[in-house]
Amino acid sequence: MTTIKPRPPETFASVVTRIADVVRVEYIAAHVEVSASSVYAWMDPDRKHLPTVSQAAVLDRLYYQVKGDTPLAAMMMTRAMIAPPPAVGPLHDEIMDLPAALGRVVDAVKSALHPEGPGGATITRYELDDIEKSCRSLMDEIKHVREAAKQGCVTLVCEGKI
């Protein structure tokens, strides 16, 4: 017989799924004062819905009562203690972050405008926050490339002008 070592979940969706495996979704929804569909949205890794800090505390309390553990708090602490990312590699890789940032803006807008999204035809506050966050990230990437160009590390060509 093979023993499988339980591993800590790596995403918030997987943590909420682990909690829902122990505590029924309807029970969670009643205690957190949201609908069961909101709890299912927290469990879906393809959706960007997350519980608030107070809701996460309730989820941890419900899980703690059964298993004696607080997985959401543990994940937040783990993420808070992660070392900063390593130094950025070649400049070419840094410039390639720019289209990725633009793609995140497009994805955020596309998700917010999707008719089956949480706000339907209207954009929710969370969707607007996500759009603004991705736009700020894009602006940061643009500033980063400009600074690199000023240092003479890269030549930017735009509409035939250098």
107-144 per-position pLDDT tens digit: 888 888 888 777 777 888 888 899 999 999 889 888 87
Per-residue pLDDT tens listing for the chain (162 residues): 556 556 666 788 888 999 999 999 999 999 999 999 999 999 988 887 788 888 888 999 999 999 888 888 888 777 767 765 555 455 555 566 777 888 888 888 888 888 877 777 788 888 889 999 999 988 988 887 777 766 655 444 444 444
- Positive/negative CA dihedral, 147, 152, 157, 160: positive
Domain boundaries, the chain: 12-81, 91-150
Asked if residues 55 and 32 have their Cβ atoms less than 8 Å apart, the reply is yes
pTM: 0.47
- 158: three-class secondary structure by DSSP: strand
Q: Tell me how far apart the alpha carbons of residues 160 and 20 are, in angstroms, rounded to a whole number.
A: 57
Q: How many CA atoms does the CB half-sphere of 149 hold within 13 Å?
A: 12
- Among 113, 128, 51, 33, which Cα is nearest to 19's? 51
- 82: three-class secondary structure by DSSP: coil
